[in-house]
Amino acid sequence: MWAPAEDVAKLTYFGLYALQHRGQESAGIAVSDGHRIVVHKEMGLVAQAFDEPALTALRGHIAVGHCRYSTTGASVWANAQPTFRSTPAASLALGHNGNLINTRELAKLLDGQPGVAGIAATSDTDVLTALFVSQLPGVAEGVENTAAAVLPRARGAYSLVFMDEHALYAARDPHGFRPLVLGRLERGWVVASETAALDIVGAAFVREIAPGELVRIDENGVSSRTIASAPVTGCLFEHVYLARPDTTLSGRGVHATRVEVGRRLAKEHPVEADLVIPVPESGTPAAIGFAEASGIPFGQGLVKNSYVGRTFIQPSQTIRQRGIKLKLNPLREAIAGRRIVAVDDSIVRGNTQRALVAMLREAGAVEVHVRVASPPVMSPCFYGIDFASRDELIAGSLDTEEIRASIGADSLGYVSLDGLIEATTLPADRLCRACFDGHYPVPVAAGDRGKFVLEVS
Ligand code: SF4
């Protein structure tokens, strides 16, 4: 955020609240007053990482905020973001959404660089930040030119916001895997992962940061240049699960896409039943669409505890054994004696759906039909979603009938890949769907797969 007349720390904090679903392991904000950058970051949710004194201490007119979901590097404080690096030439704070697939190669470029060796962090983001500052020539335009030189060496997914003492920058990888949008405040500018965050801070949507674009924002306004180009392959899974339903991706409302997926699911996998229930929250729009297209009444059958997140406090063994009940509880009066269609956004390992089907049967459902608003997840993601290895993905080794038997449902139906893509209204060749069909737009070497490439090398 660049906004001279605003309390940028507080506005960024509210923006992070809006983006909490994208990362729940750690949170941080860096602020510059034009002379120096101050960073505050902690493990945990946004509300756990900040209190009033911490926010009040962050004074200035430029801010970068981040909430982390770890994909490269352990979930530890040293890997929390914004990352921060300082040299006599300049200081840099950076937040990264996505995942690089050549982190080891980039780390090797740092060998022998003064002032950056012996770093505690093990994330792709910290390597990128260290590479930046190691190349800074020490002039005001240095960060922009350095970014234009360094970023084309990074491969994989990166939507970045970063700042030196004087300006805010944003950049997006040429494939545009992860979203990044520009918004306008009355007196200032905001860059965020999702349009929903612009809404929450009172910024008007201006446009998406284009794939391969580098943007600089300062007192002269917004300037832009293209630093790399490649076929655009935005993440299809953002439309299914990751993005908020009140966000707009490539001009299409996510909620509308998910409702349409539900309609297609009803046509592709019809069933006779008494009630359509969503697996809250992300299954809700597709369940609405399924009910609408099938004529089966929609109702709530599961109550979600919204306060259960992926925090650093792990549930005890006893609680873990109760599994899904920590998050979901059935409404017995809605379920008992009925044939239920349960609509979920995706099946990854299958453990949640197995527990869910058992829970609905315990609550008195006479039949449980599971419908899934995405195709089977068969391959891991290397571009910013830490699904699981192929061995852990239930669709990596079982077909649909075997999965149905494994989760104990009376029937199981996934929306087709074509149906999902059509629901987004985007051209198929502009979407990554590697986790569904195994065709990776950017190939990943075997040694670069896995979350702990720097811990083990
Ligand atoms: S592999 Fe799947 S989750 Fe990863 S970027 Fe591609 S579509 Fe998205």
Residue whose structure tokens are 């918004």: 183
Do 96 and 32 lie in one domain? The reply is yes
Looking at the structure, do residues 320 and 265 belong to the same domain, yes or no? yes
State in Å: Cα 63 to ligand 1 middle. 29
**101 C-beta closer than 6 A to ligand 1:** no
What's the CA gap between 298 and 339, in Å, rounded? Answer: 12
Does 455 reside within a domain?
Answer: no
Q: Are residues 302 and 161 part of one domain?
A: no
**Sign, Cα dihedral of 439, 443, 447, 453:** negative
Burial per residue of 437-457, b for 16 or more beta-carbon CB atoms within 10 angstroms, e otherwise? eeebbbebeeebeebebbeee
Going by CA atoms, what residue is nearest to atom 4 of ligand 1?
381
Q: What is the dihedral of CA 98, 100, 101, 102, to 10 degrees?
A: 180
Give the distance (Å) from ligand 1 centre to CA of residue 228. 21
Top mutation candidate among 385, 420, 440, 444 for ligand 1, by most atoms within 8 Å of CB: 385
| Range of the structural domain that residue 200 is part of | 8-233
221 falls within a domain: yes
**What's the pLDDT score for residue 313?**
47
Same domain, 215 and 285: no
Strand ranges, E, within 373-426: 411-414
At 385, the amino acid letter reads I
Strand residues in 104-167 grouped as ranges (E): 156-163
Give 379 Cα–ligand 1 centroid separation in angstroms.
9
Residue nearest to atom 5 of ligand 1 (CA): 235
Beta bridge partners of 328: 304
Distances (CA, A) of 299 to 45, 265, 277, 287: 31, 17, 5, 9
Closest by CA position to 20, among listed 60, 58, 49, 59 = 49
What total number of domains does the chain contain? Answer: 2
Nearest CA to ligand 1 atom 7: 433
Predicted pLDDT of residue 324: 73
Q: How far is the CA of 434 from the centre of ligand 1 (A)?
A: 6
Q: Is residue 321 located within the same domain as residue 399?
A: yes
User: What distance in Å separates the CA atoms of residue 402 and residue 78, rounded to the nearest whole number?
Assistant: 42
Q: Are residues 164 and 307 in the same domain?
A: no
Query: Which residue type sits at 325?
Result: K
Give yes or no: residues 136 and 261 share one domain.
Answer: no
Can you give the pLDDT at residue 114? 46
Q: What is the CATH number of the domain that holds 154?
A: 3.60.20.10
Q: Which atom of ligand 1 is nearest to the CA of 431?
A: 7
- Residue 68: per-residue pLDDT: 94
Give the dihedral sign, CA 259/263/264/266: positive
Q: Do 273 and 212 share a structural domain?
A: no
Is the CB of 130 within 6 Å of ligand 1?
no
**Does some domain include residue 247?**
no
What whole-number distance in Å separates Cα of residue 293 and Cα of residue 322? Answer: 35
Residue 369 has phi, psi (to 5 degrees) of -110, 125
Cβ neighbours for 399, distance < 8 A, ≥ 6 positions apart: none
**Spacing, Cα 381 to ligand 1 middle (Å):** 5
415 with 257: CB under 8 angstroms? no
If asked whether residues 298 and 227 sit together in one domain, one would say no
CATH of the domain at 372: 3.40.50.2020
Does 249 map to a domain? Answer: no
- The whole-number pLDDT of residue 451 equals 73
pLDDT tens track of the chain, all 457 residues?
999 989 999 999 999 999 999 998 999 999 999 999 999 999 999 999 999 999 999 999 999 999 998 888 888 999 999 999 988 877 899 999 999 999 989 988 887 564 444 457 889 999 999 988 888 765 556 889 999 999 999 999 999 999 999 999 999 999 999 999 999 999 999 999 999 999 999 999 999 999 999 999 999 999 999 999 999 999 999 999 999 999 999 999 999 999 999 999 999 999 999 999 999 988 999 999 999 999 999 999 999 887 765 444 455 556 555 667 778 899 999 999 999 999 999 999 998 899 999 999 999 999 999 999 999 999 999 999 987 778 889 999 999 999 999 999 999 999 999 999 999 999 999 999 999 999 999 988 877 777 777 775 4
Amino acid in position 120 = A
Ligand 1 geometric centre to CA of 263 (Å): 23
Assigned domain for 457 exists? no
Q: Is 385 in the pocket of ligand 1 (CB under 6 A)?
A: yes
Contact 334, 275 (CB under 8 A): yes
CA 379/CA 400 separation, integer angstroms: 15
Amino acid at residue number 45 = L
Quick check: is 241 in a domain? Answer: no
Q: How far is CA 179 from CA 81, 156, 322, in A?
A: 18, 14, 36
Is residue 262 situated within a structural domain? yes
Residue ranges with strand state E in 202-307: 204-208, 213-218, 221-226, 234-235, 248-249, 252-253, 275-278, 302-304
**What is the sign of the dihedral through the CA atoms of 279, 281, 287 and 292?**
positive
